[in-house]
Chains A and B, each alone.
Chain A
Amino acid sequence: MTISRRVFVKSGGLALVSLGLDPLFLARAAFASGRPAVGPSDRPTLVCLFQRGAVDGLNMIVPHGEPLYYRERPRIAIPAKDVVDLDGHFGLHPSLAPLKGLWDNKSLAAIHAVGSPDTTRSHFDAQDYMESGTPGVKSTSDGWLNRYCRHDQEHADTAFRAVAFGPQLPRILAGTSPALAIDDLQAFGLRVPQEAARDKLTRAFEELYEGSATGLLASSSQEGFAAIQVLKRVNPAQYQPANGADYPPGRFGRALLQIAQLIKADVGLEIAFADLGGWDTHVNQGSSEGQLAARLRELGLGLAAFNQDLGERMRGVVVLTMSEFGRTIAENGNSGTDHGHATAMLALGGPVNGGKVLGRWPGLDPASRFEGRDVAVTTDFRDLFGEILARHLGAGDLAAVFPGFSPNPQRFPGAIRR
C-alpha cells in the first residue's frame, strides 16, 4: 500500500504515536488513500440535510418491483405508472422527478435499508442517536459532525468551517469545536444603519463577551464576531443564483441557497447542515399527490436548484439526506404510516458513486422484517456517515468520531467513488 503524502501530513504529530497503535494507523491510511489531493480553495464540503419526523423511505425510493409493497399499501402506494423508474426494481417518488437527470449522470445515489442498530421508535431518541452518532448511548454530550471537526484539525479552523442554517445549533454540531448557527446570512450581525456606528457597537459587545462571558456564552459569541468579519467581505445581499437555478420558496430553499453562496465565497465551509420537517405522516400521507408528495417536491426542487446553482463546484460537494427511522411497511388505519425502522437516504454530488441504489435490500417479506413489521436495517448509518467522512472529507480517525464503533471499510455501502 502506498501512503500518500497527504495522509502523512494529516497524521502530523500524531503519526509517531499512531505507529505504535498499528490497527488505527492502518485504518487511517486505508480510509484516506486514493483520494486526490486538493488545493485550499476546493476544500471538500459535506452538506447534511435532516428530514425530521422520520421519512417514509418506501414512498421516497419506491420498491415498485415488489408486489408486497402494493399489497401492504392499498391506499398510499405510488402506482407503478407514476413511479420514476431507476433500475427496474426501485424508482423515485414522482415528486423527485427533478433529480432523475442527476441519477442518469451518476451523481445521485440512494442508500436503502439504512438506519440505527438501536430499536427505538421514539423520534426524540432516534434523532438524538443519529446526531450524537452513538446509538443506544444517551450520555454523549456532543454530535458526530462536531467530533469530526475536533479530530480533524488538518484545516485551520475558520469561522465558517461548520454552519447550521436555522435559529438553533442542532445536536449533530454541538460540542467543543466551533460551529455557527445562522438563521439568515443577510441578517447576521448587529443592525445599525451606519457602518462606523455598527463596527463600534460590534466591538463593544465583542469586548463585553470576551471579558465577562463564560462557557457556551463565551465561545458562541466569539464565533459570531469572527463570522461577522468574514461576512463583511462576502456581502450576501448581492447574491444571485447561477445557471438559472430556481430554489423553492421557504426556509429550506433559502438555506440551500445560502449554503451554495458560502461554498462559492470560499470562506472555508466544510460542513453545512439544514433540516426540514413534516415527515411524520401518521394520517393521510397521500400517494403520488398529497402530504408526503408536497414535502418531497420541496426536497427535490431544492436539491436540483442547489446542483444547478453550484454547477462545476459540485465536484467537491456531497449532499447527504438523513432521517431518524423509516415507517411501517403496511399503511395504518388512517391512510398513514406509523414509526418503523430502516429508511432510505440520498447522496448527491460529484464524488458520489451515483446511478445506484446502494445497501443490501432485505426485501419486504414478513420473514425478513424487523419485529415482523418494518424494513430491517442492513446498513448501520455510521458505516454510511463514516465512509463519507473518510473518503470525501479525508477523516483520519473514525473511531474518535464514532466512539464504541469499529469502522470497517468492508461494510461501507460504497457511496463515494473510488
Chain B
Amino acid sequence: MRLRFVTVWLALAVPAALGAQTLTPRDSALHALNRLAHGPRPGEVDSVARTGVMRWIERQLAFERVPDGRLSGRDRDFKLLDYDRAELAQRYGDALRERQRMQREMAQRGDTGRPQGAGPMREFRELGGELQQLAVVRAALSERQLREVMVDFWTNHFNVFVGKGADRFLTPSYVEETIRPNALGRFEDLLIATAKSPAMLFYLDNAQSVAPGSAPPFLARRARQRPGQGVRTGINENYARELLELHTLGVDGGYTQQDVIAVARIFTGWSIDRPQQGAGFAFHAWAHDRGEKQVLGVRFQGHGMDEGIRLLKLLAGQHATMHHVSRKLCARFVNDEPPDGCVDAAVEAWHHTNGDIRAVLRAIFTSPDFWAPQAQRSKVKTPLEFVVSAVRATGAEPDATLRLAQVVARLGQPLYLQPAPTGYPETQAQWVNSGALLGRMNAAVALAAGRLPGASVNLDDVVSATGDHAALVDAVNARLLGGTMSAHTRAVILEQLADVNDPRQARALAVGLALGGPEFQRQ
C-alpha cells in the first residue's frame, strides 16, 4: 500500500525539471493550495499530495467538472441572488424614496442625524452586506477554488466601486454576469463584457460621454423650439484612459493623450438604459461621434458601436496588454516582483491561444519560477486571503451576515469599496503595517476562541484538546500551518501554555497564536 502511494506520488508530483527536487509532495501541495486556493482545509494538504499536485491543478483549471454541492446549498441564504438588475434597481429606488421622505420629516423636526430607515433602506443595506459576504462564503466553501481566486483577481483588475451612485445596484450583476462567467474564459470576451457592463459604464462615467453638440432626440426637439437653450454636452475621458492604462496596455503601453481622446470618442454612445427599463447596456446612436478616429495608428471610421468592439479586440491582442496582464497574474500567483521567466511563459501561451486564460494560467503553474524556493511562502496574504484561509484552516462555517466581510474590511480590504480604478495592489506593502497586523492577531485569537463574529468553529474537528502540550502544538503545526512552524514559534507557544491547565483553553491559545503569528501571514 505504502509503496503504491510512493509510485503514484512520483508520477503525479511536480516534474523535477520544475524545481521539484527541493519540494516534497506535501510541500508542493501546500504551495499550490496557498496560491491557487485560499489555503488548505484540515487534511487537504495530504489529499492533494495523494492525488498528485499537477492533477489537482488540472482539475481546478477544468472547474466545471468539480462538483460544488456544499456551496450551492449555501446560495439559498443569499436573497441577493434571487433578484435581477431591474429588481435591484427598483429596490434601490424605493430605498432612496424612503430616505428622502425621512430627510424631509427630520428637517421639519430640526433633527440633523442620519436617517435610519427600517423598510426599503434597511433591506437594501442588507443586500449590500450580502454582496460582500457572498464573496467571503464562496472563497471559503467552494471546491472550485481557483475559479474563486480568479473572480477575485478580475474583479480587482476591472475594479468598480459599489459606493458610487447606480453602482450600488449594478455591482451584483457585474459580479454574476460579467466577471464570473468569464473568469477562466478568453480575455477578449471578459474585456468586452466589462466594457458593456452597466456597472463599469457608470463607474468610469462612459455612460455620460457623448459627442460634442449631440443631444437625445427629445431634448434636440426642445432645443430647436427654444433656440439658445441648447444642451451642452461632450466626451468624458475617464473610461478611455483607464481602459488603456489599467485594463489593457498598461501605463507604459505606448499610448498618447491623443489616443485617449480618440478612444473616448469611439465609445461615445455606449451607455445605460434607465433603471425603470432595467438599467441594461444601451447604445445611443444619437450620442456617437461619427467622425474618423485613430488609435495606436489604426484608423476607425464612424460606423457606430462596431468601432468599440473592434477597438477592444485590437487592445486585447496587443503585446503590451499581454505583458501587462500576465505580469499582474504572476504578481498574484508567483511573487510580488515576478521573475521574467514566468511572465514570458504566460505571454507566449497568450500568443498561442489568443488569450485563453486557462492556458495562460497553466503556463504560469508549470513554469519553474512558480515552484522555485524563492516563491515558497514569499507572499503575504491579503486581508481576504488571511480571513478566508483562517476560516478554512479551522474548518469554520461562515454565516450569511456581513460580519466576516467586516473583519476583512477592518484589516484594510473592504470588498467592492476601493474607490480608485486601480483596484488593490498585488503587493504586500499595501497590507503589512503595524495596525493591520495587530488586527490580524485579534481576529486569530477571536476565531480560535469561537468569538469571531460571522464564523462558527468547532476545533474538535481539527485538533483534539489534550493536556499534552507538546503533542498539541505539533498537531496545530501539522493541521493548521502545514508543518511550517518554526522552532522558535513552537518554543514561544509552549512557554505560553505552561501555566494553562484547561486543555480547551490551551488549544484555543495555541491555535490563536499560530494563526496570528508570522508563519500564517505568508503563503
Q: Which A residues are closer than 8 A to B by beta carbons?
A: 52-53, 74-75, 120-125, 164, 167-169, 171, 174, 179-183, 188-192, 200-201, 204-205, 207-209, 211-214, 216-218, 220-221, 223-224, 227-228, 277-278, 282-283, 332-334, 336, 338-339, 371
Contacts and interface: CB of A to CB of B under 8 A. Distances in A.
B435 A181 contact: yes
Given A217-B518, A282-B238, A212 B486 contact: yes
A74 B229 CA distance: 13
Interface in B422-439: 422, 428-439
Contacts of A332: 234-236
B101 interface: no
26 contacts: A122-B245, A122-B251, A123-B420, A167-B435, A169-B432, A183-B439, A188-B435, A190-B445, A191-B442, A191-B446, A200-B496, A205-B513, A208-B489, A208-B513, A209-B437, A214-B518, A221-B434, A224-B435, A224-B437, A224-B438, A283-B205, A283-B236, A332-B234, A333-B212, A338-B236, A339-B241
B205 A216 contact: no
B205 A183 contact: no
Interface in B199-238: 205, 208-210, 212, 232-238
Interface residues of B, number: 54
B394 to A, nearest CB: 18
A5 to B, nearest CB: 36
Contacts of B233: 333-334
B345 interface: no
B488 to A, nearest CB: 4
B310 interface: no
Nearest to B451: A191
Contacts of B232: 74-75, 333
A168 B236 contact: no
Contacts of A167: 410-412, 435-436
Nearest to A52: B420
Contact of B251 (A125, A169, A283): A125
Given A205-B441, A217-B380, A121 B241 contact: yes
A56 B251 CA distance: 23
A167 B430 CA distance: 9
A179 B434 CA distance: 9
B419 interface: yes
Contact of B519 (A174, A212, A371): A212
Contact of B237 (A168, A171, A338): A338
A336 B208 CA distance: 11
A68 B222 CA distance: 29
Contacts of A283: 205, 208, 236
Contacts of A191: 442, 446
Contacts, number: 152
Contacts of A164: 433
Nearest to B491: A211
B492 A190 contact: no
B197 interface: no
Interface in B65-90: none
Contact of A180 (B210, B237, B257, B434): B434
B492 A208 contact: yes
Contacts of B275: none
Contacts of B436: 167-168, 181
A171 B419 CA distance: 17
B448 to A, nearest CB: 12
Contact of B518 (A53, A182, A208, A333): A208
A230 to B, nearest CB: 12
Q: Interface majority SS on B: helix, strand, loop or mixed?
A: helix
A214 B437 CA distance: 14
Q: Which 4 A-B pairs have the closest CB atoms?
A: A333-B234, A224-B434, A211-B488, A181-B433
Nearest to A228: B438
Interface in B416-470: 419-422, 428-439, 441-442, 445-446
A168 B412 contact: yes
Nearest to B431: A168
Nearest to A175: B429
Contacts of B238: 282, 338
Given A124-B422, A181-B435, A211-B492, A169 B429 contact: yes
A217 B432 contact: yes
Contact of A282 (B205, B410, B519): B205
Given A190-B442, A334-B205, A217 B251 contact: no
Contacts of A333: 208-210, 212, 232-236
B521 interface: yes
Given A188-B438, A191-B446, A212-B518, 7 more contacts: A124-B420, A124-B421, A205-B517, A217-B522, A220-B434, A333-B235, A333-B236
A176 to B, nearest CB: 12
B390 interface: no
B516 interface: yes
B137 interface: no
Contacts of A123: 420-422
Contact of B435 (A122, A125, A171, A183): A183
A75 B232 CA distance: 10
Nearest to A123: B420
Nearest to A335: B232
A113 B304 CA distance: 40
A227 B438 CA distance: 11
B410 A183 contact: yes
A121 B257 contact: yes
Interface in B478-502: 486, 488-489, 492-493, 496
A223 B434 contact: yes
Nearest to B424: A168
Contacts of A171: 429
Nearest to B512: A201
B342 interface: no
A401 to B, nearest CB: 19
A169 B441 CA distance: 18
Nearest to A222: B434
B246 interface: yes
Interface in B373-419: 380, 410-412, 419
Contacts of B431: 168
Given A333-B235, A334-B208, A168 B433 contact: yes
A158 to B, nearest CB: 14
Contact of A216 (B210, B251, B380): B380
B57 to A, nearest CB: 28
B64 to A, nearest CB: 35
A282 B202 CA distance: 12
Nearest to A217: B518
B435 A124 contact: no
B428 A216 contact: yes
Contact of B437 (A124, A221, A334): A221
Nearest to B496: A204
A216 B379 CA distance: 11
A290 B76 CA distance: 41
A124 B518 contact: no
B435 A339 contact: no
Most buried by B among A122, A167, A220, A278: A167
Given A205-B517, A211-B492, A282 B236 contact: yes
A216 B432 contact: yes
Given A123-B420, A204-B513, A339 B518 contact: no
A125 B246 CA distance: 11
A71 B233 CA distance: 16
Contacts of B422: 123-124
A322 B309 CA distance: 39
A227 B410 CA distance: 19
A135 to B, nearest CB: 14
A90 B436 CA distance: 43
Nearest to B484: A212
A169 B209 contact: no
A180 B238 CA distance: 34
A392 to B, nearest CB: 26
Most buried by A among B212, B233, B238, B437: B437
Given A205-B513, A217-B518, A227 B236 contact: no
